[in-house]
Structure 1
């Protein structure tokens, strides 16, 4: 992939409180995508698990999305074309092989799926896919208590970016944010912007969401944008929200609180170039 000489990007982030109803989730997603597009967004990002949040139907849904004809992939494609935006589809379950990374098709007997982020251009054509590499297996001091994503999901095999009119754009999902080496690989691929669909828990988000986004932006001198789930999904599951855009100096350009909503923010590439010229940390690296 080659870096293109872009100047501006108007970015839209969608924040949701996804529930059990697939139809309600898709309707909410379309409402916010439309609002972003009407506000001038050229690229729109949905949060992690925007369509199916938890539940026991991940395998069946993942098998349905194994090909381009899957209902959720079709939804994303149609939304991108209808509103003439690049659309980054948060994450949906998928068992199919990933042609962009070489990840194999999953054996349905193993009952696991990939957490896949699909990307569509403004004509509705699929131009990228990333399968979440780092799976959230952790103890958290909240009503849920224990999280074991690896029981349901299989890990992706490597970082992934996609080529766009704004150069190479990196993809990460939620827990990936805690692994700095992952983001450095994306920057080494020429990414000047990394998009992070997420569903941080309320507890971990309150403590670390803003901190981690800013750290990844500053250490890689790139733009970071996080589109999050943000509300109470059940008696046991609450997410932090606070979707935001961070510039290469660690400044918050735009942000939300909790609840459904969206934000639209224009990124100026010159800001990134100025930061990298004034403090050339990436070129001063001694250890590769």
Structure 2
């Protein structure tokens, strides 16, 4: 099947997983989901905590929450790209793990965020140090699915195009970028970065985002996007909680690649992310 349906859920997540799961279920209940359906969630959607220490505590219960997420997949007959969930690394830290579940609730892929956001930003937080308790991932993840070959990434990764070139070399056709961009960096760079990744890889890019003023004091940009392999914005959310939808047409993707075979022309192959 060359055409499938992708939905991105824009959320304003709080610090309590049960509340965020309830928000997600209520949003899904507003939709008539066309099949096959891939639903994409933002970064930190399950628990957008105030401190890394609180996130580590939440990671203790990750198996419980994953069980509920798996049931959600079965209830709605959806594949679910579950943004990021904190999962313990066994050494006192946690991974920002992006998990992909099929419509039977089976976990079919996992990607641990590679690039950690340690930066100073001119917003109310001022400073971000994701590496305090987050362990960086080391492996690129692409996986076959009914929606094409998916490449998994998270938020700050989008600033490192080498990662996406490797995904393209591994056959990626749809790239996921669950995010919690700050309002400052989002206003400056969000659209440009996502469209650039789509254009240079000739992939669909799907970016589910956090939005608004959060319980943890953060302010996030929103504007969830679904971008075509030509760089066209197929769907965009505003600054409200909600769901956007677009069709993915793999035949159109391969027509674009055939007309402009940039992957074949690329003389700079990467062997870093292996």
The CA deviation string for residues 167-202 of structure 1, in whole angstroms up to 9 with x for no partner, is 320100000000000011111111100011100001
Moved more, 56-65 or 235-244: 56-65
- The verdict on how the C-alpha distance between 1:106 and 1:235 changes in structure 2, with shifts beyond 3 A counting, is closer
Match of 1:147 among 112, 128, 134: 128
For 1:107-118, what aligned pairs fall within 5 Å after superposition?
107-108=91-92, 112-118=93-99
2-structure distance, mates of 1:35, 1:272: 30
CA distance in 2, matches of 1:35, 1:89: 19
Match 1:106 to one of 90, 104, 115: 90
| Number of equivalent positions | 266
* Cα root mean square deviation, aligned: 1.4
Q: 5 Å matches for 1:77-88?
A: 77-88=70-81
Larger mean CA deviation between 258-267 and 172-181 belongs to 258-267
The CA deviation at 1:39 is 3.3
2:33 corresponds to 1:39: yes
Q: Which runs of 5+ in 2 are unaligned?
A: 270-274
Out of 81-90 and 48-57, give the one that drifted further: 48-57
2:150 alignment partner, SS class: strand
Match of 1:102 in 2: none
Give the one of 156, 168, 175 matched to 2:137.
156
How far apart, in 1, do the equivalents of 2:20 and 2:215 lie?
A: 15
Alpha-carbon distance between aligned partners in 1 of 2:60 and 2:232, rounded to the nearest angstrom: 41
2:225 aligned partner:
244
Deviations 1:34-61 (A, max 9, x none): 334x232511011111111023421122
Q: CA deviation at 1:138?
A: 0.1
Provide the residue aligned with 2:20 in structure 1.
25
Query: Using the alignment, how far apart are the partners of 1:186 and 1:28 within structure 2?
Result: 32
Work out which of the residue numbers 65, 77, 82 in structure 2 matches 1:72. 65
Q: Partners of 2:84 and 2:90 in 1: how far apart?
A: 17
TM-score, with length taken from structure 1: 0.89
Instruction: Give the whole-Å Cα distance in 2 for the aligned partners of 1:235 and 1:120.
Output: 28
Give the Cα–Cα distance (whole angstroms) in 2 for the partners of residues 277 and 246 of structure 1: 19
- Shift of the alpha carbon at 1:277? 1.5
Pairing 1:200-219 to 2, within 5 Å after superposition:
200-219=181-200
* Residue 217 of structure 1: how far off its partner (Å): 0.4
Superposition map of 1:8-19 within 5 A = 8-19=3-14
TM-score normalised by length of structure 2: 0.93
Given that residues 4 and 146 in structure 2 are in contact (C-alpha distance below 8 angstroms), is that contact kept between their aligned partners in structure 1? no
Contact 1:196 1:225 in 2 (8 A): yes
Q: Secondary structure at the match of 2:248?
A: strand
Where does the alignment leave 5 or more consecutive residues of structure 1 unmatched?
A: 1-5, 96-104
* 1:43–1:35 CA distance, 2 compared to 1 (3 A): farther
Tell me which residue corresponds to 1:89. Answer: 82
Deviations 1:15-43 (A, max 9, x none): 0001133322111111223334x232511
Give the Cα separation in 2 of the matches to 1:182 and 1:245: 19
**1:171 & 1:90 partners in 2: Cα distance?**
10
